[in-house]
Structure 1
């Protein structure tokens, strides 16, 4: 039995070696006497060749074998045994361009149906579609998502989710190396995670419950339990009927909370350095995957400064007004405001990554620390990337009396937050944290046109399957 080799590990150094490989039939071309068969394994492809002669084939296979491989359905999963040799000319259609495989044996492990609901060539983004609006409500994209298993086999999807895996791994490693421990919090809760209305309600053995919008309250309770630095990576549910290119009803949240010494800016600096290191690491380690993604879209390179760029909210409003935007001083930033601000900040500071601080208290959750110098603003902050908010955070109120007053002021029923509020009676250190959506951050880092590209099986107001 020959040892199995991965397509990506083969090279001209394997010249004249007999190897065993597995993959899917991507395409085939029968030239009458020579059969060219391209085998695909993820983003790697290799051309295999079978030559027919009077007695059978050069690989000692029969004419029947030749005819069977000639007719095998695309996407069938096969195993080939063959000799690696240097290609006479570069095989431009394959990732392995300098070598080919002369077939001497094969096994069909699983055949595909002939009529696929969507082919990989149909799912691939073509040159003339790069500048099109990537509308996921269109027939083309509905068809792709309805047949997501096949869609995931494209080079684009393979590349995106390899980068996604690297992003998850690096974030976990970075936080652990900086003293954080990973926690897991309940996703079935008795009240809204943040006192909001956009929750999915469920029946919990005859009692009302909902799916957690955020681990916010529980990660704070972990801080109260004297875990000084905690993070969680897990599902988040939002019953927001927002059919946009950056919203999902279920996504992976990356949340962290930490005790602070002097200022909430300790969290801001830590997270900014995390993002700088993350983007630099991904760009180097996944350069091949990123090149595949960029070949599918017309993307501008991501630029950022090693120095933290901070824009206080009043300054952000002034920037927008200077560019002709009519708005109130304490109105929250709209999607259009954020996009315009991204252009302005890039012109002024030459960066796609920056932080807006001191959001108005009227647009932040009840637990957000109000600025003691100006009660109209808070110690809240958002990280912006390519003109899109990718991460939101704040210093939290840590005094029981102040928090209770804030809850009453906003008209939130305290009974829905009893376990949370009562925890503040026992002494709480000053703390702050952040929450981010992994899919949105991946979308913005890679410059994808829609967040659904970065979700394995996206959930939005119109999609619950597959």
Structure 2
């Protein structure tokens, strides 16, 4: 008998259906699939781009003529010994190939096949052009047109004369047709300060505060002095700033040149003193091993001691420190002093004549040797040409006569009052009007407002044999006949306000130096930065100091 068929399973024993994936799981799987597809596509594009670039590089006929050089000194490098050219001589190389170092003022692509660059070297700028051709690739044109501003380059190119003067460069009759361009040092962008902004004048705020406003007819704000000084290494790249310091260097050279021919010996006196020798509170104290010392306010005592040491004429160029809390446009706490001291034969006006002729020499030679730099700065900071008298005809105005001139012009000032800065400037305008000179000497100052070592005037005990020299109505030099008698010097020091002890730690050696015979002598001290400021017509003396120091600033 055949086996019977199995009985049908009960409802509870029915087979289960496979579990269907959730909607979220389906979406996740779809996303993973799309992600994988995108990744694969990206890799494919990257590979294609790499292959395309490799193919383009293989076809780049200029690939060895441009690019970024390795950091010089970081790896072995065989010098090319290619002569480098100064752009000031570019006219001598017409239609010739030259190589020069420069930096980028501006780079711009006109098209895929054409780019222009403004290149600078020192105070010279030149236009450079690069155009794609069979020998110059579009890749090189693109590279040159996108080099970052202020990057340092080595460029090789042909010097070509242009039909029309180039207005945007100092070299107007020639341009450079680029053949090679390599970046030696790439500039990071953005710059903290645009060099182009540093070429423009300061906002008219008196002291250079951060009041920034657009110049007339210009949408860009003027950048204030504090911003510029906080980014000084960028600020100093401006051509106008380079010109300022070329002029400043020139003044130092001319000072030494003139006095050397007059028989002056260049000296260097100490700047660290054991005592605040000239009295007063305007001195910087510092820790010197286990005791206090002070920064020199001037080389005055040492200059005189050298005269007592039989040096007939001495000069010095060196730092001067004044702890004066003067936040004005013409004061610094550290500046450069141009000092001289000399014996004279019969009258202290012999010294005045040397000082006056010295400055006339400097002014005339600045006009002759540094006209380019002077004109560049004055084109930004407009000032009238400096009016000079002839040698021997520098106006010498007795102090009391200057007081009289001011009174007649409406100023209220006493016979023996010290002049304020506005009064000095007013007197300068009056002297210019009367004598036609921006340079003059004020003689016979009140003795009460001069240092204790100043010789009293024989004609009036309230006056002294002292003088100041002025530019455009502002003092640049203070000087006098010095007392060369130890007894008279000690007496005047005790009577000074405030009194000075002639036997004090910082004064005894100085006073004693005159006990052994010292000829009559006098001299003066110039503020180098003031000479440069007033000559160029600059609104603030800080512009004449590379890294200025004032009551608010000791960095950078």
TM-score tier (shorter): over 0.9
Does residue 1:205 correspond to 2:284, yes or no?
no
**Structure 1: 4+ residue segments shifted above 6 A:** none
Equivalent pair of 2:303/2:341 in contact (CA under 8 Å) = yes
Which residue of structure 2 aligns with residue 146 of structure 1? 230
SS of residue in 2 equivalent to 1:436? strand
Q: Which among 26, 37, 41 is matched to residue 121 of structure 2?
A: 41
Deviates more, 1:42-51 or 1:408-417: 408-417
Q: How does 1:191-230 map to 2 (within 5 A)?
A: 191-230=275-314
Which residue of structure 2 aligns with residue 69 of structure 1? 144
Q: Residue 65 of structure 1: CA displacement?
A: 2.6
SS of residue in 1 equivalent to 2:248? helix
Q: How does 1:298-447 map to 2 (within 5 A)?
A: 298-306=382-390, 307-410=393-496, 411-414=499-502, 415=504, 416-447=506-537
Q: Could you give the per-residue CA deviations for residues 199-255 of structure 1, whole angstroms, max 9, x where no partner exists? A: 011011121211000000001001110000001100000000001111000000000
Q: Residue 458 of structure 1: CA displacement?
A: 1.0
SS of residue in 1 equivalent to 2:467? strand
Q: Could you give the per-residue CA deviations for residues 53-82 of structure 1, whole angstroms, max 9, x where no partner exists? A: 4x5xxxx34433322222211000001001
Could you tell me how far apart the structure 2 residues matched to 1:219 and 1:254 are?
12
Q: Residue 196 of structure 1: CA displacement?
A: 2.2
Could you tell me how far apart the structure 2 residues matched to 1:114 and 1:359 are?
56
Q: Which among 192, 207, 212 is matched to residue 135 of structure 1?
A: 207
Could you tell me how far apart the structure 1 residues matched to 2:480 and 2:280 are?
17
Equivalent pair of 2:101/2:155 in contact (CA under 8 Å) = yes
Q: Could you give the per-residue CA deviations for residues 324-344 of structure 1, whole angstroms, max 9, x where no partner exists? A: 111211111110110010011
Which residue of structure 2 aligns with residue 103 of structure 1? 178
Structure 1 length as normaliser, TM-score?
0.96
Q: Residue 270 of structure 1: CA displacement?
A: 0.9
Q: Could you give the per-residue CA deviations for residues 395-452 of structure 1, whole angstroms, max 9, x where no partner exists? A: 0000011011111112112313111111111111100000011000111112211111
Could you tell me how far apart the structure 2 residues matched to 1:89 and 1:34 are?
19
Q: Could you give the per-residue CA deviations for residues 348-371 of structure 1, whole angstroms, max 9, x where no partner exists? A: 111110000100010000000001
Which residue of structure 2 aligns with residue 297 of structure 1? 381
User: Who wins on radius of gyration, i.e. which is larger?
Assistant: 2
Q: Which among 258, 263, 280 is matched to residue 179 of structure 1?
A: 263
Q: Could you give the per-residue CA deviations for residues 167-194 of structure 1, whole angstroms, max 9, x where no partner exists? A: 1111101111100001100000012242
Could you tell me how far apart the structure 2 residues matched to 1:194 and 1:344 are?
34
Q: Which among 25, 28, 31 is matched to residue 104 of structure 2?
A: 25
Could you tell me how far apart the structure 1 residues matched to 2:287 and 2:512 are?
26
SS of residue in 1 equivalent to 2:507? helix
Which residue of structure 2 aligns with residue 276 of structure 1? 360
The answer for unaligned runs of 5 or more in structure 1 is none
SS of residue in 1 equivalent to 2:359? helix
SS of residue in 2 equivalent to 1:31? strand
Q: Could you give the per-residue CA deviations for residues 108-128 of structure 1, whole angstroms, max 9, x where no partner exists? A: 1111001100011122215xx
SS of residue in 1 equivalent to 2:368? helix
Structure 2 length as normaliser, TM-score?
0.80
The answer for unaligned runs of 5 or more in structure 2 is 1-80, 212-223
Deviates more, 1:249-258 or 1:439-448: 439-448
Could you tell me how far apart the structure 2 residues matched to 1:111 and 1:143 are?
23
Which residue of structure 2 aligns with residue 122 of structure 1? 197
Equivalent pair of 1:61/1:105 in contact (CA under 8 Å) = no
Equivalent pair of 1:193/1:215 in contact (CA under 8 Å) = no
Equivalent pair of 2:254/2:362 in contact (CA under 8 Å) = yes
Which residue of structure 1 aligns with residue 554 of structure 2? 464
SS of residue in 2 equivalent to 1:10? helix
Equivalent pair of 2:336/2:528 in contact (CA under 8 Å) = yes
Q: Could you give the per-residue CA deviations for residues 102-143 of structure 1, whole angstroms, max 9, x where no partner exists? A: 1111221111001100011122215xx68x345322252111
Q: Residue 42 of structure 1: CA displacement?
A: 1.8
Equivalent pair of 1:86/1:98 in contact (CA under 8 Å) = yes
Does residue 1:80 correspond to 2:155, yes or no?
yes
Could you tell me how far apart the structure 2 residues matched to 1:146 and 1:93 are?
28
**Number of residues of Structure 1 aligned to a counterpart in Structure 2:** 457
User: Does 1 or 2 have the higher relative contact order (CA < 8 Å, sep 6+)?
Assistant: 1
